Amino acid sequence: MFDVVIIGAGMAGSVLAERFASVGKKVLLIERRRHVAGNCYDEVDENGILIHKYGPHLFHTDSAQVWEYLSRFTQWHLYFHKVKAVVDGKPVPLPFNLNTLREVFPTRLADKLEAALLGNFDYGNKIPILELKKSADADLQFLADFIYEKIFLHYSEKQWGLSPDKIAGAVTARVPISISRDDRYFNDPFQAMPLRGYTRLVENMLDHKNIKLLLNTDFHDVMELRGEQTYLFRRKFKGQLIYTGQLDELFDKKFGTLPYRSIDMRFQSVDDEQFQSAPVVNYPNNYDFTRITEFKQIHPAQVERTTILREYPQEYVAGVNEPYYPIFTDEARAAYEKYSDELKRFKNITAVGRLAEYRYFDIDDVIKRAFEVFDALK
């Protein structure tokens, strides 16, 4: 009946469903939630503002292929994401750059530190904080300690429950120190938001006669793994199975629970036209939440109120909250490897996406990965 079964209708599962459907394969797409688009899911709230239910998702890519592909399913609102971080009570541009330097230090000191940065790095370079901390130059050492303490240390402790040196360097390297006056959060050539949201985009992607979508369906209700065989509706299934959920759930947690980080997303409707000075403001040093997102600044809306989101990081507990991020420690990676080794016994199952591959994929990364999997399996 079906050539391909895909578990999870997030970005990974939906792109693969569309790709297989486009070459004539019959696809069954199973989704536990009541909606598609995974954590990109967005909806218009009571204020008439498009909000991201599972936290802010900003699209940016260096890939013309990804951009052109998505452009088949959506128009765009051209948008450069901006973030500020509150340092000593003042919101300043993030990534930390030469403008930030002038906002946090008096002019003479800023001049000296800027000269030290430009003496050691080329204009336009990006330096991860853990790299800058290794600097031998005394001025850069001072600057690195300042940025580490004021921007990374306490934010990361809140976000991960760990200090930056306990998590993989690539995580904090996502927000490097930028030797430039560019306040944009990302530098990719393609940056925009889907005009009518990600949910609409994904719905358009899945609108294909070869795709059968089952919402509100746990994969355990239709699939089973026995020996090295997969079963669909109790019959042997010989086609391709794409799994995009948590890998421990695929194997009934036989090697224990895989850790993920969750966030308590608390939305608030505010009786003001505008709440803050940037679409996202990070609070590294105060409060229990990490950041506030004001969605109206991402998706403009001509309404009098505004909707904000505070993110309170917390441990993930299955069945209680949502798994948002893998944990980037050696220990968590080792726990994941046990499951990925187990997966190798099943020749027809491929794990794809942030949850299943235990990777910090951005939206464009996951689409690139879906293309790669499609090319290998088609």
In the complex, the residues that contact ligand UDP under the rule CB under 6 A are: 85, 94, 151-152, 155-156, 159, 171-172, 174-175, 282, 284
Closest to ligand UDP by CB, 91 vs 239, is 91
Tell me how far apart the alpha carbons of residues 138 and 141 are, in angstroms, rounded to a whole number: 5
Rg (CA), the chain: 22
CB of 254 to ligand UDP, least distance (A): 30
CA distances from 196 to 44, 70, 80, 108 (A): 10, 13, 17, 47
Tell me how far apart the alpha carbons of residues 4 and 348 are, in angstroms, rounded to a whole number: 10
Closest to ligand UDP by CB, 25 vs 84, is 84
Which single residue brings its beta carbon nearest to ligand UDP? 155
Tell me how far apart the alpha carbons of residues 144 and 129 are, in angstroms, rounded to a whole number: 7
CB of 227 to ligand UDP, least distance (A): 39
Closest to ligand UDP by CB, 121 vs 360, is 360
CB of 183 to ligand UDP, least distance (A): 14
CB of 300 to ligand UDP, least distance (A): 21
Residue 177 and residue 129 in contact, taking contact as beta carbons nearer than 8 Å: yes
Closest to ligand UDP by CB, 100 vs 230, is 100
CB of 101 to ligand UDP, least distance (A): 16
CB of 324 to ligand UDP, least distance (A): 8
Residue 147: both structure tokens together: 């940025």
Q: Where are the alpha helices (DSSP H) in 138-245?
A: 138-147, 154-160, 169-172, 198-206
Taking phi first (over 0 means left), then psi (-120 to 50 degrees means alpha), and beta for anything else, what does residue 38 get? left
Residue type for position 157:
E
Closest to ligand UDP by CB, 18 vs 364, is 364
Closest to ligand UDP by CB, 166 vs 378, is 166
Residue 194: both structure tokens together: 């889907």
